[in-house]
Structures are given as C-alpha cells and as structure tokens.
C-alpha cells in the first residue's frame, strides 16, 4: 500500500512506471541522484534510463552523493549513457570507461559538490532522482539509508523524480537531520558543537509542484563488500590503539578520545573493530559512512553516538540493523554530506580521521586515487575533507599489494591527493610512523624503518642515501623517483632485481 507513504494526496496521481519517469530525463541533462556508498540510491529510474540510452543514444551528466550500488553505474556505463560523472564512483565497468577517456570523471571533495551547484559554478540541476521512504503531507521527502547530496539536488532541480522504496523501514523517519547552509554573503555558523547535535529538519522540504513523477520500488540497497578483519588489518588496528593509548597517557586525550571518522573499506572497518577490545569507552563518531563496525561498537557498549551521511552494511548486519533501527535511532543521525564532511565542523570537533592510502611516499605524501599515477580507482571521496581539518590525520595501508609485487610505500607518490602537510600518522601492519612536527628528512627514516615491508626497506634506504647526497629539503633522485612504478609497468613488480635496486 504505497499510498500510505504519500501524505500529500494530490501526488498520488504522479505515480508512474520507471520508464515513464525516466522520460523526464533528456539527452545532455545534468541529473542529481541520491546514493552514498551503495545506500539510499535511486535504483529503478536509472535502469530505465539505461535501457532508453541503449536504444536512443542519450548521454547525461550524473551527480550523486558518492558511490552507487545496484549496478547502476555499471549499467549506465555499459549503455554509454554517461558523458560526465561526479563526485565519486567505485564501479569496475565505469572505472574502465573513465580510464579510457570515455566518461569525464570529476573527482571532488565530497563536501564541495553542492557548494559549486549553489553558487552556480556548476549546474543547473535539471532533474533530481531521490529515493525516499515516504513523502509527508506537505510534500517533503524523507530520505532512506543515506542523505548524501539529495537535499540540495532536490532543492535546486527543475524536476524531481521520487523513488518510493517500500522495503525501507518507516522507522527511518526521524533519523535524518537536514540542514542547508544559508546563501552567502549571509551565511551563519553551522551550530554543531557535538556529534549528536541536531540542527535541521527531519525531511527535505520542497515545493511539491516540482515533483514530476513518483516510482514505487521494492529493490533493496546493495550490501557492502567489506572483508572481515585479517591478520594484517588487525595488526594495523593494534598499532593505532597502542598509539592512541600513548596519546591518552600523555594527557593529550581522554579515554573517549575525540569523535572518530573512518573511511570506507575493509581496513578502516577493521581498525574500528579494534576499539571493541580496547580500554577506550564512551566513544563517538562524526563520519561519513556508518559500516558494520559502527553497530558492533554500539552493541559492545563502546560507542555512544554516531553521525554519518549513510548506512552501508554487510547482508546479515543490514537485515539486523534495519529491522531493529528503532533500537539504534536515538544514537544515530544521518546528515547531508556537506555537513558530515564540513571543514568547519571537523575542525571544531577535533576529529580523529582514519583513511586508507592507496600508496604513500617516504615523505608522507598520500595517493588515494590513481594506480601507477594514471588509472583512477574510486576517487578522493571525503578523505581530504577529513584529513585536512582533523585534529589527527591517520592514513592506513597494508605495506604490500599484489602478493608483494607492489610496495605501498614508494620513493615518490605517483599522484598526490594528500600532501605531507596533511598526514600526521602513517600505519601499516609493520608499524606506525608518527610524523607530527617532523621535517621530510626525519619523516623518511621513520616511515622506512616503521612502515615499509622488510623486502623493500633496503632499496628505500639506498634511495634516501643517494637522494640526500644531492641535497634539498625533500631529497629526491628525479631519474629514479618514479622508477618503481615504471618497473611495475615493465615487468609487473617493484621487487629489486638485484640485491640492491637503487644503485
């Protein structure tokens, strides 16, 4: 009975098929869709659009919160329906189209997309496609498992298509906190001073006359593909816990630390799990994505409150949490990603930010996005919003990749997303490098001795020795700086061919 979920009865007549709804989207349009890390994404209208694109050759600019599930990016990419995509993605097929230069991908800090739209430096938004759990009597939208950029997309779009998802629990109502900063030059401070502050409305207030179509669906969110903790991610978590314990013992933090942020993915999830058996307590999170670990920490009595922009869970956890959402609701809030990732709030709260590095260099510059400096993986996401403005910016990575053929620590990062200015602590399963207050020549020693895998340590020591003989604040041998990446291109491995590579 979907009509129960449309409080404004005049909208009942707007219910159409996905195909009919998708007809509002024309070739060349800029479309904003809900969805943040596989949660709360528009699921059926984009599929109908892809079908039409295959038939008619249509192309759009697609903006979302972050990555999508439900094979939406895959299907649209296969249908060649995307000319431009932003601000984040994580789909292998779309990734290939991006790397082939077919889709123009704009890799943005997740807090910034709506600022560019609001100031009309990008846009206009022609159509917004927003998944909702319900529409209230005023026509306002109630989002589902993510907020992402949905509120601003809906507020700015000429037309709105609502995907009313009957599988999403009505208990989600009240979970969201929709706050949109006022327009400059009259913008006021964002009044969040604690992670659990609620500052906005529980709905996205829109003019219902802009709702062009409503589609009813029963498609579930895709579940997360996070790996369970393994030996190495547990070691990484252990190093972080030890470090934070030392910070506490030095009087720099209390036993509830500061609000935690953790990026998406298996390593960050494992690191959060590491807090379960620690002696920290009364923790809070001010993060983007709430993963399994968030709820495990709550169940373990460690986590008081979590603020995020989406809930992305494994299949079992998904079933349990969404069926018992009322149990967690008083300790959760979902915010627009502009607010979850806002520099103002992150700096004020003094977040501990834990994000994953794809590679790092011996000076602590971090590449989060580009394989061998050229091929896009997913995107920078919120890592920059958090790392730059946090009290403590931690990056984690396993020291090796591809069975040891790749060292995650290289002489010079082949692409830089986070500069050495923004990286406080680097952790691998080998150990932790506390880079705070250190100069590059000090950072390199610490990173090599503490974080690099033993099979690559000698080669990096040799590189540093040769580079320092040439001088400079950040010594490099330019002819060898990218040679490790070239070795992968040429022979599939960074492993030294002779006992010492850097001769």
How far apart are the C-alpha atoms of 370 and 412, rounded to whole Å? Answer: 13
Choose between 348 and 457: whose C-beta lies nearer to a copy of itself. 348
Print the binding letters for residues 153-182 with a copy of itself: x by CB under 8 A, - otherwise: ----------------------------x-
Applying CB under 8 A, does 38 fall inside the site for a copy of itself?
A: no
Q: Which is nearer to a copy of itself, 193 or 300 (CB)?
A: 193
- The secondary element (H helix, E strand) that includes residue 395 is strand 392-396
Is 388 a binder of a copy of itself (CB under 8 A)?
A: yes
Alpha carbon 24 to its chain centroid, in Å, reads 29
List binders of a copy of itself among 257-316 (CB under 8 A). Answer: 258
Length of the chain: 503
Residue 388 vs 495, nearer CB to a copy of itself: 388
Under 8 Å between Cβ of 396 and 357? yes
266-273 vs 231-249: helix axis angle to the nearest 10?
A: 50
Catalytic residue among 288, 338, 359, 429: 288
393 Cβ partners below 8 Å, 6+ apart? 353, 355, 386, 387, 418, 422, 423, 424, 425
10 Å CB burial of residue 103 (0-12, 13-18, 19+) is buried
Q: What is the DSSP string of 102-125?
A: SSEE----TTTHHHHHHTTSS---
Closest separation between CB of residue 220 and a copy of itself, Å? 31
Taking the least distance from each CB to a copy of itself, the nearer of 69 and 123 is 123
Task: Report 231-260 residues binding a copy of itself (CB under 8 A).
Answer: 250-252, 258
Q: Which of 51, 196, 458, 468 binds a copy of itself (CB under 8 A)?
A: 468
Q: Would you say 34 and 148 are in contact if contact means Cβ atoms under 8 Å apart?
A: yes
Measured CA to CA, the distance from residue 358 to residue 356 in angstroms comes to 7
Q: State how far the Cα of 177 lies from the Cα of 334, in Å rounded to an integer.
A: 6
With contacts defined by CB under 8 A, name the span among 37-45, 71-79, 214-222, 347-355 that binds a copy of itself.
Answer: 347-355
Sign of the four-CA dihedral 55, 86, 227, 167:
negative
Known catalytic residue: 51? no
Q: Does 319 interact with a copy of itself (rule: CB under 8 A)?
A: no
- Cβ proximity to a copy of itself: between 119 and 209 the closer is 119
Selected range binding a copy of itself among 19-27, 155-163, 322-330, 345-353, rule: CB under 8 A? 345-353
Q: Which of 20, 71, 78, 115 binds a copy of itself (CB under 8 A)?
A: 115
Q: Which of 205, 373, 404, 496 binds a copy of itself (CB under 8 A)?
A: 373
- State which of residues 419, 445, 466, 496 lies at the interface with a copy of itself (CB under 8 A): 419
Assess 108 for contact with a copy of itself (CB under 8 A): yes
Q: Is the dihedral of CA 194, 196, 144, 380 positive or negative?
A: positive
**Residue from 376, 445, 462, 495 in contact with a copy of itself (CB under 8 A):** 376
Q: Report the site for a copy of itself in 424-443 (rule: CB under 8 A).
A: 424, 436-439, 441-442
198 is a site residue for a copy of itself (CB under 8 A): no
CB of 445 to a copy of itself, least distance (A): 12
- Single out the residue of 46, 364, 384, 411 in contact with a copy of itself (rule: CB under 8 A): 384
Rg of the Cα trace of the chain?
A: 23
26 binds a copy of itself (CB under 8 A): no
Q: How far apart are CA 286 and CA 307, in angstroms?
A: 5
Residue selected from 227, 255, 326, 489 as contacting a copy of itself according to rule CB under 8 A: 489
Q: Which is nearer to a copy of itself, 35 or 181 (CB)?
A: 181
Stretch of 159-167, 290-298, 395-403, 468-476 contacting a copy of itself, by CB under 8 A:
468-476
Burial 194-228 (b: 16+ CB within 10 A, else e): ebbeeebebbbbbebeebbbbbbbebbbbbbebee
Q: Does 343 bind a copy of itself (CB under 8 A)?
A: yes
The first and second tokens of residue 150, run together, are 């949905």
Among 170, 193, 246, 300, binds a copy of itself (CB under 8 A): 193
Kindly state whether residue 403 participates in binding a copy of itself, applying the rule CB under 8 A: no
367 φψ region: left (φ > 0), alpha (ψ -120 to 50), beta (else)? beta
Establish if 356 lies at the interface with a copy of itself (CB under 8 A): no
Residue 469 near residue 444 (C-beta atoms within 8 A): no
Please tell me the distance from the alpha carbon of residue 475 to that of residue 444, in angstroms, as a whole number.
Answer: 10
Residue positions annotated with a catalytic role: 288
């Amino acid at each position: 009975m979907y009509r129960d979920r449309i409080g404004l009865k005049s909208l009942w007549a707007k219910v159409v098929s996905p195909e009919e709804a998708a007809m509002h989207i024309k070739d060349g349009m800029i479309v904003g869709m809900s969805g943040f890390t596989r949660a709360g994404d528009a699921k059926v209208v984009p599929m109908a659009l892809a079908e039409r694109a295959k038939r008619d050759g249509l192309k759009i600019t697609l903006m979302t919160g972050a990555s999508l599930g439900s094979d939406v990016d895959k299907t649209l990419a296969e249908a060649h329906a995307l000319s431009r995509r932003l601000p984040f993605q994580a789909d292998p097929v779309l990734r290939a189209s991006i790397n082939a230069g077919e889709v123009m991908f704009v890799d943005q800090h997740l807090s910034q997309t709506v600022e560019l739209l609001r100031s009309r430096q990008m846009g206009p938004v022609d159509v917004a496609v927003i998944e909702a759990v319900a529409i209230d009597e005023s026509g306002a939208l109630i989002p589902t498992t993510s907020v992402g950029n949905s509120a601003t997309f809906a507020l700015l779009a000429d037309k709105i298509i609502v995907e009313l998802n009957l599988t999403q629990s009505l208990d989600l109502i009240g979970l969201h906190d929709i706050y949109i900063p006022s327009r400059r030059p009259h913008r006021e401070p964002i009044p969040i001073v604690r992670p659990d502050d609620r500052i906005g409305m529980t709905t996205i207030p829109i003019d219902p006359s802009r709702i062009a179509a409503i589609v009813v669906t029963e498609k579930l969110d895709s579940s997360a593909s996070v790996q369970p903790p393994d030996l190495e991610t547990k070691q990484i978590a252990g190093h972080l816990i030890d470090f934070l314990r030392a910070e506490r013992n030095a009087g720099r933090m209390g036993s509830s630390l500061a609000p935690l942020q953790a990026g998406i993915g298996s390593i960050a999830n494992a690191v959060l799990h590491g807090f379960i058996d620690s002696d920290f307590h009364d923790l809070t999170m001010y993060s983007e994505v709430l993963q399994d670990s968030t709820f495990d920490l709550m169940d373990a009595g460690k986590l008081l409150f979590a603020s995020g922009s989406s809930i992305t869970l494994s299949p079992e956890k998904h079933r349990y949490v969404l069926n018992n959402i009322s149990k967690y609701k008083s300790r959760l809030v979902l915010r627009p990603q502009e607010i979850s990732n806002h520099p103002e709030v992150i700096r004020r709260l003094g977040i501990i930010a834990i994000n994953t590095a794809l590679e790092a260099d011996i000076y602590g510059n971090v590449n989060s996005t580009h394989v061998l400096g050229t091929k896009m993986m997913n995107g920078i996401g919120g890592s920059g919003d958090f790392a730059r403005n946090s009290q403590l910016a931690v990056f984690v990575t396993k020291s090796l990749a591809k069975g040891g053929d790749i060292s995650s620590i290289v002489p010079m990062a082949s692409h830089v997303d986070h500069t050495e200015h923004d990286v406080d602590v680097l952790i691998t399963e080998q150990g932790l490098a506390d880079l705070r207050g250190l100069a590059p020549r000090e950072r390199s020693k610490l990173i090599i001795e503490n974080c690099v895998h033993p099979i690559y340590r000698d080669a990096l020591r040799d590189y540093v020795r040769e580079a320092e003989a040439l001088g400079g604040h950040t010594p490099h041998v330019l002819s060898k700086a990218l040679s490790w990446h070239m070795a992968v291109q040429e022979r599939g491995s960074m492993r030294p061919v002779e006992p010492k590579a850097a001769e």
